Structure formats: structure tokens, C-alpha cells
A and B are shown apart, each in its own frame.
Chain A
Amino acid sequence: MTKKILLVEDNHHNATLVRKVVASQGYQYYWAQNAETGLDLAIKEDPDLILLDLGLPDVDGQTLFGWMRMESKLDDKPILAITAWPEETALRMVEAYGFDAYISKPLDIKKFIQTLKSYLD
């Protein structure tokens, strides 16, 4: 069965890049531009992996992560942070909130694909 990835990201260019990479690896792609739509889509589509941009303009990715973990359907899903925060801050965020890992922006495509495969294959 085709693995599903949900991306919550407000920036169109970043989302397009992720979509292209995800499609190239044969995964199914879902995209939400804000936190509330992201939560709804996560519950409805039951993705195998969730990617959250921390810098969302309405409710940030850290808060969205908290909401997702409170949903029984999502509480053990792998959720990765995507962030442009400096590495030290990103690691602190990931540890404090309990993300499974983080991916830095700008995307290193090769590393990104390796990360996706490690969670989905």
C-alpha cells in the first residue's frame, strides 16, 4: 500500500519542492497551509508520516504538534519538525516537545530522501 505523507507548510515554494521529492519516491502527498487544516487532514487521511513547519504564521508547529499528540489516532505517528531555526535551537525544540526528528531548511534533498525512507520503508 502506498505510504502517505502529510506536510503542514504555509510557504508555496517550500511545499512544491517537498511535493516533487515525495512524488519522485512514490509516496502519496497531502498538504495543509495552516495548523487547523493540518490537524483535520491528519485525522481524516491517517498519514504514515507528518512533516510540520515550525514557522507557521497562525499557530506554530510546536503547538500543532501538541494538538496532534492529544489525538489518540495520531499519538504514535512519526512527526518531524521542518525548521530554519539554528541547529542548537532546533535540537532544543525537538527534545522539549518530543518531535521524532527535525529537518533543516533549506532542504538537503539527498538527506531528506534518506530521512523519508528511514521512516517509511
Chain B
Amino acid sequence: MKIELIPAHYYTIEQLTDFYNRTRVDYIVPMPMSPERLQEYVDDYDVDLEQSVVAIDGDEVLGLGMLGVRDGISWITRLGVIPSTRRRGSGNALMAGLLQNSEALGIRKTILEVIKNNTPAHNMFRKHGFNELRDYLIMRRAPRRMERETKGTAEWLERDAALALMDIPERHLSWLNQRESMANADNCQGVMLTLPDGSKGWLVYRHKKFSLAHFVFHALAGDPVSVATEILSHLHHKYPRMDAYAENVDTKEPMCKAMQTLGYFEVFARIEMFRVVD
């Protein structure tokens, strides 16, 4: 058996979608994609398909992995091995290939997320030199009327004004929610809230066709949890029929606590890991 790594851009998006979905048939978290969704994923998250790889053994596809590249940092994502081809070393081969491509670009830092309790993947990432950085939750809220009264004055912001708020260099955000991801999408919006006691904060989010997603919150004054709670109340008052899907919410963030009081529930959890080479 000989594992070869083929650059992903040699395949069509339909082929890559098929390979990806086949790697996920028995996954802890069911998350199939359509070709349109995978293309959107590639575009939104700066996935470089020339640096991403598909593992094959002759005519047989074994798995794939994708590499996002931004500002001197790389991000490993959508890594998976087709169940019937496991235990042949293709997971390690994919990781090695992605890291080699990353280093060839002069990149020293690589991050990724692993689903909590995916022990085999977690162990493999540790073997490749990755260490745990932070815990994330994926939170969801079903559409329903927000019973809680709103407080304060909300100013609703269009895309450019919302993106302008996100210039906070010291703030660490998950790759999915970084300014670049929000800017790549055309549905980014925001809201600035000022409360009667002078507390203030903003929320930037993506207003997709069927859901509100990718929330980034920042408190400017006052108690962050209270401000987050009031901002989310305003959001759900304005859009009572929209599903909400908040991906990679830092468990230590004030917004996480606020969500838990407003009808959000935890769907699953991820651990962000990182690796730095000399």
C-alpha cells in the first residue's frame, strides 16, 4: 500500500464534497455538506485548495484535509478518513502533508479544533505537537418569541459599520469568527447597544437566509454578561422567527453565560489546539 497526497484543487468541489461526506458517515456529530456549502466554507474561511490534500491509494480515496491560510497562521480543517480505509496511517499522512505545506509557506503557527471526546483525533493531534488552547461550545436557539422585555437603545448596523468594530487586535477569536471570515461573507451585520446606566457593547453576526450565526460580542462599558444578555434580547426580539447557531463560543466569554439564560442550548463542544515550530 502506498499513500499519496494529491493537492485538493485537482478535484471538483462536487468530488471534494463526496469525499468529505464519506469521511463523516459515522462521525460523533452528523454534519454533511452540499457542494454549495463546501464552496461557501472554502471562500469564507480562506481555505487554500492548492495546499489542501486528498489521500489516495491507487484509485481508492482514503481521506482529505484542508488548510486555511491567513496572515502567517494556518488552520487545519475538514480532516477526515473514510471509515472503510482507516488504520492504514492516512490520518497521520494527511496531517504530515498539511503541516509540511504550511511550513513551506513560511508559517510557524498552526491551529485546529477537535470535537470534545474525539479521543483518537485528539491523540493524533498531540502526537503532531499540538497543545490545547481553549474550549468552545456550539450553541443553538430555536426560533421563538423572546418574552423578556428589551432595555436600552439599539443601533442596527450594516456590513461596513459592523466590520469596522472588529478591529480589536488583542482579542483572540476562533478562525470561523475572525474579521476576515465575517468580511468574506456578504451578510455581516451588527448592533450597538447603550443601556440606561451607561453600559454599552456591540454584537457582530451573520444574517444568513435561514439563521443568525457567527456571533462576536464585545463589551465597551458595564457588566459584560448583562450587556450581552440585553444585546441578544434585542436581536431575538427583532428576528423572532430566525434560528440561531453560534459556533465556537469561548466558554470563558460573557456571551456564553448570557446565551445560557436566553434559551440557547449546547449542541456539542470543541477544543482549539495550536502548534508553533521554530
Contact = CB atoms under 8 A, between A and B. Distances in A.
A58 B36 contact: yes
A89 B268 contact: yes
Contact of B210 (A55, A57, A63, A96): A63
Given A59-B210, A70-B241, A10 B142 contact: no
Interface stretch (A19-27, A79-87, A112-120): A79-87
B28 interface: yes
Contacts of A34: 34
Interface in B1-60: 21, 28-34, 36-37
Contacts of B221: none
A57 B267 contact: no
Contact of B32 (A55, A85, A86): A55
Contacts of B243: 62-63, 66
B21 A57 contact: yes
Interface in A44-94: 54-59, 62-63, 66-67, 70, 83-86, 89, 92-93
Given A62-B243, A63-B243, A66-B243, A57 B142 contact: no
Contacts of B156: none
B265 A57 contact: no
Given A96-B265, A97-B142, A98-B142, A56 B210 contact: no
Contact of A63 (B36, B141, B211, B267): B211
Contacts of A58: 34, 36-37
Counting chain B residues whose Cβ lies within 8 A of the other chain, the interface size class is 20 to 34
B38 to A, nearest CB: 9
Contacts of A54: 30
A58 B35 CA distance: 9
B33 A57 contact: yes
B32 A10 contact: yes
A70 B240 CA distance: 12
A97 B267 CA distance: 13
Nearest to A89: B267
Nearest to A56: B32
B140 interface: yes
Nearest to A53: B30
Interface centre among A34, A58, A83 (most CB of B within 10 A): A58
B41 to A, nearest CB: 12
Nearest to B38: A57
A58 B32 CA distance: 8
Nearest to B263: A96
Contacts of A96: 140-142, 263, 265
Given A56-B32, A85-B29, A92-B266, 12 more contacts: A57-B33, A59-B210, A63-B243, A66-B143, A66-B243, A67-B210, A84-B30, A85-B30, A89-B267, A96-B140, A96-B141, A98-B142
Interface of B: 21, 28-34, 36-37, 140-143, 210-211, 241, 243, 263, 265-268
Interface of A: 10, 34, 54-59, 62-63, 66-67, 70, 83-86, 89, 92-93, 96-98
8 contacts: A34-B34, A55-B32, A57-B34, A57-B37, A83-B30, A85-B29, A96-B142, A98-B142
